[in-house]
């Protein structure tokens, strides 16, 4: 499946709205910056009909060095961002499964 970049989104939204690419870019970038700032404060970001971004903390664990499996490698706890899609997104994405399986991805 092709990758969609921020630039692709800017071009599409600019064409749909008549706003300049710079205006669209600024809005998208500010939106992403605000989401990131809220997550960095530990807040959960909920966008109705799209999904929820939240920070989860992974537990500390012991990993293995693939080049020397006899050595333990401590992996410290860390904060990661999790995304849970909203109902509408789930419904729109569900039909993609047969397409992905067909391509062997």
How many of the other CB atoms lie within 10 Å of CB of 26? 13
- The pLDDT tens digits for 21-38 are 999 999 999 999 999 999
H or E stretch including 54? strand 51-58
Q: CB–CB of 92/50 below 8 Å?
A: no
- So what's the pLDDT on residue 95? 87
Domain extents in the chain: 1-43, 44-105
H or E stretch including 64? strand 61-65
The residue with greater pLDDT, 102 or 55, is: 55
Instruction: Quote the percentage of the chain above a pLDDT of 90.
Output: 75
Instruction: Give the mean pLDDT of 9-13.
Output: 98
- So what's the pLDDT on residue 2? 83
- Which CATH architecture best describes the domain 44-105? Irregular (4.10)
């Amino acid at each position: 499946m092709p990758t969609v970049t921020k630039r692709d989104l800017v071009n599409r939204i600019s064409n749909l709205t008549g706003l300049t690419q710079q205006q669209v870019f600024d809005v998208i970038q500010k939106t992403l910056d605000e989401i990131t700032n809220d997550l960095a404060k530990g807040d959960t970001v909920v966008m109705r009909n799209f999904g929820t971004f939240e920070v989860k903390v992974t537990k500390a664990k012991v990993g293995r060095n693939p080049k020397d499996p006899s050595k333990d490698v401590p992996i410290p706890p860390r904060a990661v961002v999790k995304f849970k899609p909203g109902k509408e997104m789930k419904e729109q994405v569900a039909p993609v499964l047969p397409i992905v399986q067909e391509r062997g991805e």
